């Protein structure tokens, strides 16, 4: 009888522990690590998310060049944004803005700062509620044109 009660207590404790760890995990955003270098490509070009899912993008630059010569950022654009026009505006905005044009901020859902070789940056955001494809780019001059882009798919 006593051992039966003890085993029930153990099961209850186990359930409590499981419940606690599950809720703690749910409170943390899902981490997506994207590595970049002098190849001017994101090593992750497709991210899938649930509507409203909290995601932390960690951008790591494994290159060695300084950010003014070969900087990278990660910029998630609103659905329907003309990425070509956005990155053109980013070049005009210049290095002082880290290629984030002030008059285009309404087109940005999330972005990291610009980083040079050996640096990293991160941004936490909620995936849009609206399902569909969202383009992300590096807005450093010519990187988007050279293929530094990818797609976040909300489904």
The residues binding Cu ion (CB under 5 A) are 72, 138, 140, 143, 148
Nearer to Cu ion, 47 or 148 (CB): 148
Q: How far is the CB of 52 from Cu ion (least distance, A)?
A: 28
Nearer to Cu ion, 29 or 100 (CB): 100
| 132-137 and 120-126 beta bridge pairing | unpaired
Backbone angles phi, psi at 113, to 5 degrees: -75, 170
Q: How far is the CB of 95 from Cu ion (least distance, A)?
A: 13
Q: Which residue is nearest to Cu ion (CB)?
A: 138
Q: How far is the CB of 40 from Cu ion (least distance, A)?
A: 5
Q: How far is the CB of 116 from Cu ion (least distance, A)?
A: 11
137 touches 107 (CB < 8 A): no
E strand or H helix at 46: strand 46-49
Q: What is the largest CA-CA distance in the chain?
A: 79
Nearer to Cu ion, 74 or 134 (CB): 74
Nearer to Cu ion, 74 or 128 (CB): 74
Q: Residue-wise over 19-45: b if at least 16 C-beta within 10 A, else e?
A: eeeeeeeeeeeeebebbbbeebbbebe
């Amino acid at each position: 009888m006593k051992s039966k009660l003890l085993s029930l207590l153990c099961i209850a404790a186990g359930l409590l522990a499981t419940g606690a760890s599950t809720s703690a995990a749910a409170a943390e955003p899902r981490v997506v690590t994207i590595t970049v270098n002098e190849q001017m490509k994101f090593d992750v070009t497709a991210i899938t998310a649930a509507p409203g899912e909290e995601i932390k993008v960690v951008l790591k630059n494994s290159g060695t060049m300084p950010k003014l010569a070969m900087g990278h950022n990660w910029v998630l654009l609103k659905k329907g944004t003309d990425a070509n026009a956005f990155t053109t505006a980013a070049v005009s905005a210049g290095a002082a803005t880290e290629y984030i044009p002030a008059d285009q901020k309404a087109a940005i859902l999330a972005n990291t700062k610009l980083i040079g070789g050996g640096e990293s940056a991160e941004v936490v955001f909620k995936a849009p509620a609206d399902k569909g494809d969202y383009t992300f780019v590096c807005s450093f001059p010519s990187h988007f044109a050279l293929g530094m882009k990818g797609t976040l798919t909300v489904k």
